[in-house]
Amino acid sequence: MEWHVLPSGRRIVICVRRNGMNKIEEIQAELRDRQIPAWLFYDHHHRDAISYRILGLPESLMVSRRWFYLIPAEGEPVKLVHRIEPYHLDTVPGNKQVYASWQQLVG
């Protein structure tokens, strides 16, 4: 496992590698090991470069709508993407849900 320390002293995982596992399985294994129920990734207007690196998303995507990606410690990940940009998380596994308005996000 590779750790990077932020100036604040907090550590973040940049790369996780376990033999024979894909990236999502590796993240889930780490979540279980640390007794963390899930990890929520989120972006809007390319403000979270770390998510792109961890998930292997192309940084060239034009992102004008919010997307969310939840990796639970157990089970299938969930993608939540806007109807206008429904393809943003197509490169990662999981069940895709599509929203069309901010009201649907809070409902």
- In tens digits, the chain (107 residues) has pLDDT values of 444 445 555 554 444 455 556 889 999 999 999 999 999 999 999 888 899 999 999 888 889 999 999 999 999 999 999 999 999 999 999 999 999 998 988 86
CB 52 within 8 A of CB 39: no
For 31-74, the DSSP string reads: HHHTT--EEEEEESSS--HHHHHHHT--TT----S-EEEEEESS
In CATH, the number for domain 2-106 is 3.40.350.10
Q: Which two tokens stand for residue 79?
A: 């993608």
Residue ranges covered by each domain of the chain: 2-106
CB 56 within 8 A of CB 49: no
